[in-house]
Chain A
Amino acid sequence: MSNAQPALKDWPLWEVFVRSKQGLEHKHCGSLHASDAAHALQMARDVYTRRQEGVSIWVMPSHLIAASDPDDKDQLFDPASDKIYRHPTFYEIPEEVGHM
């Protein structure tokens, strides 16, 4: 039925990060296709901030993100689970000291 050429083959994928208000960090909120960075920013504004969800937007090409392998989860993160001395609640302080 359609004789259209592929739509977005040449528009790379971008990840979008939005700062919801001044003083907070940019947070990942999704992705979109756009021809270049300026275009991606414009699209991100329309797709992800139609209701004042942000005061600032970052975009970056998705392929530039390096991610840890889910299969490495145990070796990466488990070693921290038996180091409870890294938490303040590990230490008992006499009550009369008050808040510390």
Chain B
Amino acid sequence: MYTQSFSVPDEGDKQAALKTVPKPQSAAEAELQKRFDERIDADGRIEPRDWMPEAYRKTLVRQISQHAHSEIVGMLPEGNWISRAPSLKRKAILIAKVQDEGGHGLYLYSAAETLGTSRDQMLDGLHSGKAKYSSIFNYPTLSWADMGVIGWLVDGAAIMNQIPLCRCSYGPYARAMVRVCKEESFHQRQGYEALLVMMKGSQAQREMVQDAVNRYWWKCLAMFGPPDADSPNSAQGTRWGIKRISNDDLRQKFVDATVPQAEVLGVSLPDPDLKWNEARGHYDYGAIDWDEFWQVVNGHGPMNRERLATRVKAHDDGAWVRDAAVAHADKQKQRALKSAA
């Protein structure tokens, strides 16, 4: 599903960055750094036990864990609609999709753990509000059409982001993304098809789809992150082979792919400046409201509190299940020991 394709510091990271002065490298470290750089330059892959610069490790831990959190929180806006899906078929599809998102979160947490962080540390980061996740989930899902639009546009944008990540220089992350991308196509297609069905329905249903598109379009464009000129961290990510395509290029690809899909669907995209530019061979589009975007990233979106509270409650309510599993495992172990004796 969904990552913000840019590196936002988690709360607290900024101050920490100011305090730490990089230590001068020893000769041995310089040699390791040289070998690392050569491997990156040759488009090679880095595996968990290979030497890597501390900043590379930190950047990946942050990016992969933010990505994992996004998958986990991403279950919430859709989970809202499971009990209200319009048919048994749509309900089964939605449950499968939400289960996939949970699975994607688990693949990604595992990938991050290979870098030396722990699941508990990451979950604490999420639950304490310190760690970021994709801001798109801090908006409400007001109608059934939102489920279709999230599949079509939000997952569509996520696919654009994630396909280049399958070639990321860090092996476990790249492999997790291959798995995720395989499943993502189902998410987008089921969403688009659900909208097609609604567009063949009543006038009220068509208006519902248009309303959902109007509410989500600009937020999806913002998902690709600030313009290249305002993304100082992008250059380092590109240097490390973590980021393969720039925010603006990905955004353009998404717009170009989506406009014809909107035409087939019969909805308009809410941008008066959206038009084909023959000279560029791309669609031009209007200005994105970055102030709103940063508001939401910084915790002031309409649903930030509610999403986090729901997530923390689910985790707390599940504590007895985790404890019971451990108690059961202990009991089984004791029993095995006894019968062996």
Contact = CB atoms under 8 A, between A and B. Distances in A.
Interface residues of A, number: 29
Contacts of B326: 10-11, 35
B308 A1 contact: yes
A12 to B, nearest CB: 9
A51 B187 CA distance: 14
Interface in A28-45: 29-36, 38-39
A35 B325 contact: yes
A8 B124 CA distance: 11
Contact of A2 (B51, B312, B322, B325): B312
Contacts of A30: 107, 110, 175-176, 179
| B interface secondary structure, majority | helix
A32 B49 contact: no
Given A4-B315, A10-B326, A39-B325, A70 B49 contact: yes
Contacts of B50: 70
A63 B55 CA distance: 26
A32 B106 contact: yes
Contacts, number: 77
B312 A1 contact: yes
Contacts of A3: 316
Interface string A1-28: 1111111111101000000000000000
A37 to B, nearest CB: 9
B316 A4 contact: yes
A2 B315 CA distance: 9
A87 interface: no
23 contacts: A1-B127, A1-B129, A2-B127, A4-B127, A5-B319, A6-B120, A7-B315, A7-B322, A8-B120, A8-B123, A10-B322, A11-B325, A29-B179, A32-B106, A34-B325, A35-B325, A35-B328, A36-B333, A38-B332, A50-B103, A50-B183, A51-B183, A70-B51
Interface of A: 1-11, 13, 29-36, 38-39, 46-47, 50-51, 67, 69-70
